[in-house]
């Protein structure tokens, strides 16, 4: 789970590589490095522990010339974050440098073999093993770099996207991928590599998305050459596509952090998500996946939803939606548990995977398992063309736009929005919803963006409130029904960016244990909009109050009862209960953001985290 960048062209590579790395820092930022071939043919590798800015400072007095180079920002898997474990890795003779995103699973076996051939290793990484293996292939079998990479990759198992360059050869980059993302940019007399399009978009919009098992030679002044690991003779013609993203889409646009930008983008991302699907005039939802495969859902024994983290929380809301509106039983599974617990899967199950990045390893493995056992696979995913998207039988993109902040915000609300649209359109097909209920909810969905804008008017109030709570070491978040998963999501947001411990709990379950934690120091966020369990949650609020907990309540505009009981409250507009998570999560996102900022945290790059978790 790292970011890779490469450049070959007429310009100096270093500043382009640094810019690309900065855009990929969401994928990892514990160390970074760059390798460049200068005009004398020297292969210079510079690495540092820390962020890309540290690498830039470190290189200030180094020879950073060269029009070809590769660079890497790391999130440690094998070996601690350190300079020696950072990429690029040199081969033994220092003739080759390699960057890698992924995991070489059989690296220990290969390492043993190479040690028996006299190789020594500078790092604890799996990546260095691949680099040395390439050199071994070149020396032992007298191969070119391209052929050596090909032969080395035949020996490895695991996941990778790689970039390789060599001393005395400023005209070639070799790259390949297997289950890790890779895009190649094709500019005017220049080529770029990136883990995703954001790394290269500033330089070209013409890209190639290589497929798994393709090995690619990029050579100055020549056509890109692609061959397949499965069959060396099979030559693939590069297929150039246009990136749809704009640079503005991926920059901060005046906000202090990507997370804040993405919170405020939610009305727009929800509009994009509903565009062409929610027919606002007719008050209808037309969702292709459900139009086409409604009968598969209709015949389903049950729906299994699987995901990780925030996407799992969205999935939990999906359970409430599909069961209430469509009367289909739903199970929601954390993907990492599902994949290893030998679950019972029937061929008439519908399996829904939810993932922002579309690259989460556990979610992909859970999908593969369900697919193997014959379930129908539906994907809800943000990144177009991602691995999740490719594995599905059908699905719906969230179209939230690029999410760069490590803490997921707009991905969550758009995932819930897709689940709402799916459940409503399915319920209509199955006739499990009355026409008037359908139209009332759809009408409310048309107003959802404007209602989020109303919550944004409270941002200063929330910011002030956040300052009061920076002292806290623990938070409890409570909710019921549709807002129980929102409580969990609020807790996750707080812990990941502020490092304050927080737990999300079903409000009524509190008295079975967590109530023991409550004292006058303890902030308790109660997500309590006015719906059918209002009186129940009011009792839960009173229970907290009786133990002197400091309550922050999320209430519906015009609420009187809960407000009377609470020290602090944030009002949100009234909407349909099944849509309420899309509104109630917004103040929780803002609260955690402002608390983290007040505590001086690095909001967009919280410690130990990375945006896409492509390792298990």
3-state secondary structure of 521: coil
CA atoms within 13 A on the CB side of 205: 6
- 392 is a site residue for ligand F6R (CB under 6 A): no
Chosen residue from 311, 396, 575, 584 binding ligand F6R by CB under 6 A: 311
Chosen residue from 309, 401, 490, 549 binding ligand F6R by CB under 6 A: 309
- 613 is a site residue for ligand F6R (CB under 6 A): yes
Task: State which residue, 27 or 177, has the beta carbon closest to ligand F6R.
Answer: 27
Task: State which residue, 387 or 540, has the beta carbon closest to ligand F6R.
Answer: 387
Tokens, residue 514: 């967590």
Closest CA to 419 of 437, 396, 391: 396
In this chain, which stretch among 17-25, 134-142, 307-315, 480-488 interacts with ligand F6R, using CB under 6 A?
307-315
The CA distance from 183 to 87, in Å, is 19
Task: State which residue, 132 or 311, has the beta carbon closest to ligand F6R.
Answer: 311
The CA distance from 142 to 130, in Å, is 17
* Site residues (CB under 6 A) for ligand F6R, limited to 485-504: 492, 496
The CA distance from 69 to 166, in Å, is 10
In this chain, which stretch among 95-103, 265-273, 351-359, 523-531 interacts with ligand F6R, using CB under 6 A?
351-359
* Site residues (CB under 6 A) for ligand F6R, limited to 510-569: none
What is the total count of residues that contact ligand F6R (CB under 6 A)? 15
* 600 touches 500 (CB < 8 A): no
Task: State which residue, 333 or 576, has the beta carbon closest to ligand F6R.
Answer: 333
- 195 is a site residue for ligand F6R (CB under 6 A): no
What track of x and - describes contact with ligand F6R for positions 251 through 290 (by CB under 6 A)?
----------------------------------------
Chosen residue from 356, 413, 414, 575 binding ligand F6R by CB under 6 A: 356
Chosen residue from 92, 132, 269, 357 binding ligand F6R by CB under 6 A: 357
Chosen residue from 396, 425, 483, 612 binding ligand F6R by CB under 6 A: 612
Residue 132 CA, chain-centre distance (Å), reads 31
In this chain, which stretch among 221-229, 354-362, 389-397, 470-478 interacts with ligand F6R, using CB under 6 A?
354-362
Q: How far is CA 595 from CA 447, 464, 504, 586, in A?
A: 29, 10, 17, 14
The CA distance from 307 to 504, in Å, is 18
Task: State which residue, 311 or 498, has the beta carbon closest to ligand F6R.
Answer: 311
The CA distance from 429 to 317, in Å, is 21
What track of x and - describes contact with ligand F6R for positions 396 through 415 (by CB under 6 A)?
-----------xx-------
Cross-strand pairs, 32: 48, 73
Task: State which residue, 125 or 363, has the beta carbon closest to ligand F6R.
Answer: 363
* Enzyme catalytic residues: 2, 611
In the numeric block, the tokens 């081969």 are attached to 91
Please report the DSSP string for 51-72 in residue order. Answer: -HHHHHHHGGGS----SEEEEE
**282 in the Ramachandran plot: left (φ > 0), alpha (ψ -120 to 50) or beta?**
alpha
Minimum CB–partner distance for residue 259 and ligand F6R (Å)? 9
Chosen residue from 123, 180, 363, 466 binding ligand F6R by CB under 6 A: 363
- 310 is a site residue for ligand F6R (CB under 6 A): yes
Cross-strand pairs, 460: none
Minimum CB–partner distance for residue 445 and ligand F6R (Å)? 22
Minimum CB–partner distance for residue 353 and ligand F6R (Å)? 8
Give the 3-state DSSP-derived string for 379-395, with helices as H, strands as E and coil as C: EEECCCCCHHHHHCCEE
Q: Work out the number of other CB atoms within 10 angstroms of the CB of residue 44.
A: 19
* 133 touches 156 (CB < 8 A): yes
Q: How far is CA 276 from CA 284, 290, 421, in A?
A: 10, 14, 12
Residues of this chain that interact with ligand F6R (CB under 6 A) are 308-311, 355-357, 360, 363, 407-408, 492, 496, 612-613
């Amino acid at each position: 789970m790292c970011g890779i960048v490469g450049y070959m062209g007429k310009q100096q590579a270093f500043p382009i590589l640094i810019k690309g790395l900065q855009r990929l820092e969401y994928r990892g930022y514990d160390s970074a490095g760059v390798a460049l071939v200068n005009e004398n043919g020297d292969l210079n590798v510079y690495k540092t522990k820390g962020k890309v800015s540290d690498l830039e400072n470190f290189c200030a007095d180094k020879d950073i010339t060269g029009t070809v180079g590769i660079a890497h920002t790391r999130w440690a898997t094998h070996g601690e974050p350190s300079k020696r474990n950072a990429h690029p890795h040199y081969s033994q003779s220092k003739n080759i440098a390699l960057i890698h995103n992924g995991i070489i699973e059989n690296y220990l076996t290969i390492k043993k073999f190479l040690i028996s051939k006299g190789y020594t290793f500078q790092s604890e990484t799996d990546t260095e093993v691949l680099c040395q293996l390439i050199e071994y292939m070149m020396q032992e079998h007298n191969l070119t770099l391209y052929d050596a990479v090909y032969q080395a990759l035949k020996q490895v198992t695991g996941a990778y996207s790689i970039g390789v360059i060599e001393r005395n050869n400023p005209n070639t980059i070799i790259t390949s991928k297997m289950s890790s993302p890779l895009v190649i940019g094709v500019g005017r007399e220049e080529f770029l590599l990136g883990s995703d399009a954001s790394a290269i978009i500033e330089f070209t919009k013409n890209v190639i998305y290589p497929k798994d098992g393709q090995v690619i030679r990029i050579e100055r002044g020549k056509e890109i050459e692609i061959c397949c690991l499965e069959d060396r003779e099979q030559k693939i013609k590069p297929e150039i596509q246009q990136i749809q993203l704009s640079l503005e889409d991926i920059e901060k646009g005046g906000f202090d952090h990507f997370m804040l930008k993405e919170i405020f983008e939610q009305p727009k991302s929800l509009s994009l998500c509903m565009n062409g699907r929610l027919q606002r005039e007719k008050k209808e939802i037309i969702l292709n996946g459900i139009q086409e495969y409604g009968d598969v859902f209709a015949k389903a024994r049950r729906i299994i939803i699987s995901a990780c983290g925030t996407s799992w929380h969205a999935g939990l809301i999906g359970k409430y939606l599909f069961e209430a509106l469509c009367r289909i039983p739903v199970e929601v599974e954390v993907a990492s548990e599902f994949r290893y617990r030998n679950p019972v899967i029937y061929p008439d199950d519908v399996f829904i995977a939810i993932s922002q990045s579309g690259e989460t390893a556990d979610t992909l493995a859970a999908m593969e398992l369900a697919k193997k056992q014959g379930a129908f696979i539906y994907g809800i995913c943000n990144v177009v063309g991602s691995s999740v998207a490719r594995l599905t039988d059908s699905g719906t993109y969230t179209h939230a736009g690029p999410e760069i902040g490590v803490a997921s915000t707009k991905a969550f609300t758009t995932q819930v929005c897709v689940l709402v649209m799916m459940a409503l359109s399915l319920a209509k097909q199955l006739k499990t919803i009355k026409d008037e209920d359908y139209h009332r909810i759809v009408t409310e969905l048309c107003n959802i963006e404007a209602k989020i804008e109303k919550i944004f008017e409270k941002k200063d109030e929330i910011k002030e409130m956040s300052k009061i709570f920076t002292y806290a070491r623990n938070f409890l978040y409570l909710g019921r029904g549709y807002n129980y998963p929102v409580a969990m999501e609020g807790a996750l947001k707080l812990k990941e960016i502020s490092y304050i411990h927080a737990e999300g709990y079903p409000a009524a379950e509190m008295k079975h244990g967590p109530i023991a934690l409550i004292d006058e120091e303890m902030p308790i966020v109660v997500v309590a909009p006015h719906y059918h369990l209002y009186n129940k949650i009011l009792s839960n609020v009173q229970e907290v109050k009786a133990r002197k907990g400091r309550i922050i309540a999320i209430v519906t505009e015009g609420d009187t009862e809960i407000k009377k009981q609470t020290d602090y409250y944030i009002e949100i507009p009234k909407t349909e209960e099944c849509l309420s998570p899309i509104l109630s999560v917004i103040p929780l996102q803002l609260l955690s953001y402002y608390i983290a900022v007040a505590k001086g945290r690095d909001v967009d790059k919280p410690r130990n985290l990375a945006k896409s978790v492509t390792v298990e």
